[in-house]
A and B are shown apart, each in its own frame.
Chain A
């Protein structure tokens, strides 16, 4: 039997449902309230526009002292996201603060889709393409979005 859910997690979950963030949804699993199914819409104006990206989010035992663990499940062509869907984002690592929340983190991820940063790459190959031939990279990102991130 798992330990009772901390008040913090209960409150965050409630708020995510009562005041959802536009373009973002996070549903906890019934059997494990620390595990969330996340959907993030590609920001409009970006090469991910029109896509719906699925992620998994897990709150470890020491959350919120440690950041949540998040990974893209949908295949995505992005210099800061690798093949396994892992994300390079400062607030998920060194700049994590226990005062941050699931909602703020998901917003940061959405913002990252709108502003890829090939200077701080996690996916070297994509970053290289992004720097050397940006139009081509953006085209590929669009294609992948159509191919893998269609709303179901």
Chain B
């Protein structure tokens, strides 16, 4: 795709076809292609009736498939919740900013709860019905199995697990739910420990003895003073769990409001008493949580459930309510890139929840994004007018004729010409004649090597950024084209189905550019050998296919209809090239056949 695309207006042909003929031609081409549907040029993926899906290239194809079905024009370009993955990334990271300076609330306990010891317990523990194996279509190396669940499904799973364990432990459901949450929903561990030492588990979970014989209730106690609000009027309603820490009802409710609404806690709210570790049970909460908090409370409980399960993740798309189940473990991430497709159409990585980044493994994505961030200034730098300070490495711009440079950051004084210490220059202010000074040679060598590694980085970065940028341009141009097609539709009576190939092509472009973008990050970390060449060939083939398809969007709107078959061909070719690249890369990754110049761990 050319750097500056030609707008479709600008590209209006000199020899204008009279409007009437143009319309007829368009209708002709439509009738021709309408006879050949479903489009023979597009391979339909094998689809299953079940809910189990396989991450695949199906987006564009599915649309083509959809196009062959009766559908309504309103769905045209609807339900695309996000404009680009950047939107999502910025949403995901924005939570890290904010609060730092306002008080002593710096977060000190950056407890990393990755407990590798636990995951083995959960390996084959699944609350979900699994699909019979033989129903699954042959999987490509880059595809993983996953399921998408609605909030209702999740609630149902929780209930079922609670029920199951409750029977086993002979405990009421509320208590069992607390126990399960306390054990991060690790059934096996709970059952094992419970069988081992019932009292201790109950105690630790804040359930203590004889809850069932002594249900929670509010009481007015003579001479009681609430330690939180200092009220002591007679008849003051108060509450205490069996740890004995008693507070008035108002204070208890305010406390719960603070925990639930402000701090987002639900599953492990402790007694407000100083130093008391007793966790509030569901019955006490029912008694005390006010109706305006119950929805939020239950939502939080659900969140905790998904957060606790290694095989469940919330879809990170804004406002999406679905959770995705996938069996890929953290330790597998050096050998696989688990892209999953949510029902909201967002494709994301189950490993790191960033937008789909196949074929690049999570660890490389992390490194790459970090690098791009760190180097964002240096990336614009490679012009003749900037050099790095030989002492601290920060970029320095020469904006006048004087060769006496002072680094703004470290105040190091050096000569622009020879990069040597300025102090070695004596009085020859404007003229450098000390080119061979030791300090200068060393600095120039360092500069050369850092320039070289920067140039290598920029080679990949520019291509990475270019595909990101082009994907946006592709989308813009598609939206413009789409509007025109809609106008044309209403004036020509052309059916909505007929313009769907454009949507399919546009989606294929988005998806392929997303893949291409990440092939450059991948290639940056690849050590050079024979396999690199195969990878680069695949990359080149996909790139060419994509540019060929992308170019077609720059054609006149009235020509587009005539190019339908060609465009569908090119679309399907793009998707095939993408599959080939992803499949080959994933296969080798699985076999640990790639050599990287960094550690994948």
Question: Cβ of A7: which chain B residues have Cβ within 8 Å of it?
Answer: 229-231
**Residues B274 and A88 in contact, CB atoms below 8 Å apart:** no
The answer to the question of B273 belonging to the interface, with a C-beta cut-off of 8 Å to chain A, is yes
Instruction: Closest B residue to A122 by CB, please name it.
Output: B106
- Size of chain B's interface in residues, with CB distance under 8 A? 25
Query: What DSSP secondary structure best describes chain A's contact surface?
Result: loop
Query: What DSSP secondary structure best describes chain B's contact surface?
Result: loop
The 0/1 profile, CB within 8 Å of A marked 1, for residues 238-281 of chain B is 00000001010001001101100000000000001111100000
| A-B contacts besides A71-B103, A88-B108, 7 pairs, CB < 8 Å | A8-B228, A62-B258, A71-B104, A86-B106, A97-B274, A98-B255, A99-B272
Q: Give the docked Cα–Cα distance between A94 and B104 (Å).
A: 11
The answer to the question of B203 belonging to the interface, with a C-beta cut-off of 8 Å to chain A, is no
**Residues B104 and A100 in contact, CB atoms below 8 Å apart:** no
Question: Cβ of A94: which chain B residues have Cβ within 8 Å of it?
Answer: 109
The answer to the question of A21 belonging to the interface, with a C-beta cut-off of 8 Å to chain B, is no
Contacting B at CB under 8 A, from A105-145, are: 120, 122
**Residues A99 and B104 in contact, CB atoms below 8 Å apart:** no
Question: Cβ of B272: which chain A residues have Cβ within 8 Å of it?
Answer: 97-99
**Residues B105 and A93 in contact, CB atoms below 8 Å apart:** yes
**Residues A65 and B275 in contact, CB atoms below 8 Å apart:** no
B245 to chain A, nearest CB (A): 7
**Residues B104 and A97 in contact, CB atoms below 8 Å apart:** no
Contacting A at CB under 8 A, from B198-237, are: 227-231
**Residues B245 and A6 in contact, CB atoms below 8 Å apart:** no
**Residues B251 and A98 in contact, CB atoms below 8 Å apart:** yes
Q: Give the docked Cα–Cα distance between A99 and B231 (Å).
A: 13
Spell out B's residues near A (CB within 8 Å). Answer: 101, 103-109, 227-231, 245, 247, 251, 254-255, 257-258, 272-276
A-B residue pairs in contact (CB < 8 Å), sample of 19:
A7-B231, A8-B229, A8-B230, A62-B258, A65-B255, A69-B103, A69-B104, A71-B103, A71-B104, A88-B108, A89-B104, A92-B104, A93-B104, A97-B272, A97-B273, A98-B247, A98-B272, A99-B228, A120-B108
Q: Give the docked Cα–Cα distance between A84 and B106 (Å).
A: 12
Question: Cβ of A70: which chain B residues have Cβ within 8 Å of it?
Answer: 104
A99-B106 CB under 8 A given contacts A8-B230, A11-B230, A65-B254: no
Which of A7, A64, A92, A94 has the most C-beta atoms of chain B within 10 angstroms of its own C-beta? A64
Contacting B at CB under 8 A, from A50-65, are: 62, 64-65
The answer to the question of A66 belonging to the interface, with a C-beta cut-off of 8 Å to chain B, is yes
A99-B245 CB under 8 A given contacts A7-B229, A66-B258: yes
A88-B230 CB under 8 A given contacts A66-B258, A97-B273, A97-B274: no
Q: Give the docked Cα–Cα distance between A88 and B231 (Å).
A: 32
**Residues B228 and A64 in contact, CB atoms below 8 Å apart:** yes
Instruction: Closest B residue to A87 by CB, please name it.
Output: B104
Question: Cβ of B105: which chain A residues have Cβ within 8 Å of it?
Answer: 93
Contacting B at CB under 8 A, from A25-75, are: 62, 64-66, 69-71
Question: Cβ of A104: which chain B residues have Cβ within 8 Å of it?
Answer: 274
**Residues A86 and B103 in contact, CB atoms below 8 Å apart:** yes
Instruction: Closest A residue to B252 by CB, please name it.
Output: A98
Instruction: Closest A residue to B256 by CB, please name it.
Output: A65
A98-B228 CB under 8 A given contacts A65-B254, A65-B255, A65-B258: yes
**Residues A88 and B273 in contact, CB atoms below 8 Å apart:** no
Question: Cβ of B247: which chain A residues have Cβ within 8 Å of it?
Answer: 98-99
Question: Cβ of B275: which chain A residues have Cβ within 8 Å of it?
Answer: 95, 97
Choose one: A11, A71, A93, A98; the contact of B108 (CB below 8 Å): A93
Contacting B at CB under 8 A, from A2-18, are: 6-8, 10-11
Please provide the 7 A-B residue pairs with the shortest distance between their CB atoms, ordered closest to farther: A97-B274, A65-B258, A69-B103, A99-B274, A98-B228, A8-B230, A11-B230
Question: Cβ of B255: which chain A residues have Cβ within 8 Å of it?
Answer: 65, 98
Q: Give the docked Cα–Cα distance between A100 and B251 (Å).
A: 13
